[in-house]
A and B are shown apart, each in its own frame.
Chain A
Amino acid sequence: MPAVSDPVVLLSQAVSLLGRFPALAGADLRVDPGEVVLLQGPNGAGKSTLLRLCAGLAAVQSGTAEVMGFDVATRAGRRSVRRHVGLLGHGSALYDDLTVEQNVRFWTAANGGESAGVDAALERLGIGGRLRTVSVRNLSAGQRKRTAMAVMVCRRPRLWLLDEPHAGLDQAGRDLIDALVGQAVDQGATAIVASHELDRAAGLATRVVQVVGGHVA
């Protein structure tokens, strides 16, 4: 296990190809434990790929990339790092035909989390009442995001990777996201958040990083 003071993420000139397109073209990044790093930059700059790389879902063709001590340039490293991270992507990864509660219970079980925490998470995310038994198909975008977030909370990862978490949420929802991230970090997690929301940055993040043209400016 890596020591507490070791960086959570350490990228050096990392190149990640999507097909033949270099989504990341030599990215450098260092994230230390307990930080909340905000990734900002134009659309298509590579923020999502950067997050997926940290989740162990993107291949690295050159450069070095270490996440929580695992070398994610190797297949084995990618597989190992996955259970320690949580990724909230653009898609909510929910089964439309199942209810909110069924989805959260399934994913919590799949993630190896405890089913005891599900009720508390649903309450915390404001979907513990009538919405529990509603099919995901009938939810609004914001409610879907809250459901996905509930799954994340139950997963309790050491590294939170959030891709545009505020999109689609109302003011209360956005405050809730920030509070959850803050709470997780207080309990020892680290977070990397990609967001266009400039005004959120000050309250949430410890550091802001610009991602442009597949690298960190």
Chain B
Amino acid sequence: MWRDARLIAAKDLRVEWVSRVLTTQVVPFGLLVLILFGFGISPDLQTFEPGEATSKVAVLEQVAPGLFWLAVLFSALLAIGRSFAIEAVDGNLDALRLAGLDPAGIFLGKAGAVLVELLLLEVVLGFGSFVLYGAPLDNAVLLVTVVVSATVGIASAGTLYAALAAGLRVRDTLVPLLLLPVLAPVLLGASLATEAALFGPASDGWPWLAALGAFAVLYLGAGILAFGSLLEDS
């Protein structure tokens, strides 16, 4: 299983390296979303900081965690779609079935490649958020662990659901519909934990981190079990 996973992940990353779709299209898209949030939610809107009666902060800064994760989610839809678009070549899926690769390995390989791509995306979008929204940073360790565990969950669930729609012409409209309700709890937990990591107290964030970790483990398991069944064509 691990050998097959490494093979698939290396191949997916090599395709990305050569085609540069992520770096030239998906990352700019994510940045664009961050900027558009500023258009949609006026940067001039101010509100009182929670618990403070006197100091005001920009609404945009307060909601920065949620906006960051929304931008990540939308970009992830593109990255995950791309992961399966390269397999949509005529005969490719058949060849994967004939190759006798362990389906769990294929799942882990594809999810792993998506994970790497999303983490790189998040580094860029993270800097973008700090710059555009001006949020502080209270606990970096919490932030990093939250980002990693949430992304593992996104990559696993995304790969599982994209497999469900693989080979279908309606894949691009179906996957968002299926995936986003599933990732709603991840959005929730990641935003709250990120909020704790940025504004403090960090103790608010650790429980959500645990929940994100559980979600990630659950979907890794589900993918390993179900991918074989989804890959079958008959």
Asked if the two chains touch in their complex, CB atoms less than 8 Å apart, one says yes
- Distance in angstroms between the alpha carbons of A91 and B96 in the assembled complex: 13
Tell me whether A57 and B100 are in contact (CB under 8 A): no
Q: What is the predominant secondary structure among interface residues of chain B facing chain A?
A: helix
Q: Does B7 sit within 8 A of A, measured CB to CB?
A: yes
Q: Is A111 an interface residue (CB 8 A)?
A: yes
**B99→A90 contact, CB < 8 A:** no
Judging by beta carbons under 8 Å apart, are B89 and A55 in contact? no
Number of contact residues on A: which range applies?
A: 20 to 34
Closest to B87 in A: A95
B90–A91 contact, CB under 8 A?
yes
- CB of A83 within 8 Å of the partner chain: yes
Minimum Cβ distance to chain A for residue B149 (Å): 30
CB distance from A138 to the nearest CB of B (A): 12
- Which residues from A are CB-within-8-Å of B170? none
Q: Would you call the interface of chain A mostly helix, strand, loop, or mixed? A: loop
Interface assignment of B141: CB less than 8 Å from any CB of chain A: no
Whether A98 lies near B18 (C-beta < 8 A) is yes
**A87 with B98: in contact, given A57-B233, A59-B234, A78-B234 (CB under 8 Å)?**
yes
Contact A93 B100 (CB under 8 A): no
Report A-chain residues with C-beta under 8 Å of the C-beta of B233.
57
In the complex, the chain B residue whose C-beta lies closest to that of A17 is B234
CB-nearest residue of chain B relative to A55? Answer: B98
Q: Is the CB of B91 within 8 A of A92?
A: yes
Min CB distance A139 to B, Å, is 13
A3 to B108, CA, bound (A): 38
Known: A78-B234, A93-B89, A93-B90. A106 touches B11 (CB 8 A): yes
Hey, which chain B residues are within 8 Å of A90, CB to CB? 90-91
Which residue on chain B has the smallest CB distance to residue A83?
Answer: B100
> A81-100, CB under 8 A of B: which get 1 and which 0?
01101110111111111100
**From A55, A57, A78, A135, residue with most partner B Cβ within 10 Å:** A57
Alpha-carbon separation in the docked complex, A97 to B82 (Å): 13
> For chain B residues 10-41, which have a beta carbon within 8 Å of chain A?
11, 14-15, 18-19
1/0 contact string of B84-99 vs chain A (CB within 8 Å): 0010011110111111
A73 and B99 alpha carbons, distance in the complex (Å): 20
The answer to whether B52 has its CB under 8 Å from any CB of chain A is no
Give the 5 A-B residue pairs with the shortest CB-CB distance, closest first.
A91-B90, A91-B91, A93-B91, A93-B95, A59-B234
Q: Name A83's contact: one of B15, B89, B98 (CB within 8 Å).
A: B98
Task: Give the chain A neighbours of B91 by CB distance below 8 A.
Answer: 89-93
**8 Å CB contact of B89 from A56, A59, A85, A94:** A94
Pair A95/B86 contact, Cβ less than 8 Å: yes
A95 near B98 (CB under 8 angstroms)? no
Bound Cα distance A109, B96 (Å)? 12
A95-130 residues with Cβ-Cβ distance < 8 A to B are 95-98, 102, 106-107, 109-112
Q: Which of B90, B92, B99 contacts A111, CB < 8 Å?
A: B99
Q: Please, could you name 7 A-B residue pairs with CB atoms under 8 Å apart, sorted by A?
A: A56-B98, A57-B233, A82-B98, A87-B95, A91-B91, A97-B19, A112-B100
In this assembly, does A75 line the interface, its C-beta being within 8 Å of a C-beta of chain B?
yes
Which chain B residue has the least Cβ–Cβ distance from A102? B14
Known A83-B98, A95-B15, A111-B99; 14 more pairs at CB < 8 Å: A57-B234, A58-B234, A82-B98, A91-B91, A92-B91, A93-B89, A93-B91, A94-B89, A97-B86, A98-B11, A109-B7, A110-B7, A110-B96, A112-B100
Chain A contacts for B211, CB-based, 8 A: none
Q: Complex: how many Å from CA A97 to CA B89?
A: 11
Give Cα A116–Cα B18 distance, bound, in whole angstroms. 25
Which A-chain residue is minimally distant from B15 (CB atoms)? A97
Are A95 and B234 in contact, CB atoms less than 8 angstroms apart?
A: no
- In the complex, A59 Cα to B233 Cα: how many Å? 9
Cβ distance A21 to chain B, nearest Cβ, rounded Å: 14
Is B230 an interface position by the 8 A CB rule?
no
With a cutoff of 8 Å between Cβ atoms, the chain A residues found around residue B92 in the complex are: 91, 93-95
